[in-house]
Amino acid sequence: MTWGIGQELQGGKYVIEQILGQGGFGITYRALQVNLNRPVVIKTPNEYLNYDPEYDKYIKRFIAEGRTLGRLSQEPHPHIVGVIELFQEGNTHCLVMEFVPGENLFQAVKRRGALPEAEIMTCIRQIGEALMVVHQAGLVHRDAHPGNIMLRSNGKAVLIDFGIAKQIIPATQSSADKAANDGFAPYEQRYQGSRDPRVDIYCLAASLYYGVTGQKPTNSLARRLDDEPLIPPQELISSISKELNQAILNGMALEAKDRPQSMQSWLEMLQRFPII
């Protein structure tokens, strides 16, 4: 059941304000946490998943990963959205997260065009540091595309939507949903559903490509199946340094074995040259 505006949860502790998004796995709401008078985000699985034969497994993973993210929030990271609590409303499991104001990287590039190298590099390094923490906790985000990179007004970037939606791929989910965000997911994720941390390296490098060029990179499946080339960023924006150009191409290597083998290794590539 989709909740409408004004719906009260947990005896009036939360009040639904709007639906922020709806995907193959779940629904995302903006809600008011009444006692603190602050906005929050509430994620729930889609009701239709009740009919999936592996529904119980998905919910167990939803709860387990929600608890893991909750443990991460005990020592808040400035670049990871905070988890507030897990609860059950009737038969619906809910994950409550911090609401991050601002615009995402997609919106920033749409409004401003390609971003200055120094600005986008700062943002991507912050998100890379956040993903290192996520990987150390045994998780893989699998969707660090520009829509999930929020830019606060103070210049800080925050990684959102750990929505366990991306960690679980139900049998009832469409192939389009499995494809993740077009242009930013490596082919092994889109084709095989990989949960390897090197998926996040590709996705973040692709987000950097987008931020510094203003253009989406070539779809990884088209690169793999149709041999379509990935246009080097420097061919699109001639002012991009050769070092940054190479770091992006290394992070977006088609085969996972050819990418840096950890997020830390890729971030070290980004730190080998000064930002002007």
Tally Cβ neighbours within 10 Å of residue 98.
Answer: 17
DSSP H/E element including 11: none
Residue 247's nearest CA partner among 221, 228, 273, 224 is 273
Residue 270's nearest CA partner among 118, 125, 131 is 125
CB–CB of 72/80 below 8 Å?
A: yes
CB–CB of 275/118 below 8 Å?
A: yes
CB–CB of 52/66 below 8 Å?
A: no
As a whole number of angstroms, the distance between CA 85 and CA 95 comes to 6
CB–CB of 217/183 below 8 Å?
A: yes
56 is catalytic: no
Q: What is the DSSP letter of 82?
A: P
> Which amino acid does the sequence have at 118?
A
Select which of 56, 143, 161, 177 is catalytic. 143
Q: Which residue numbers are catalytic?
A: 143
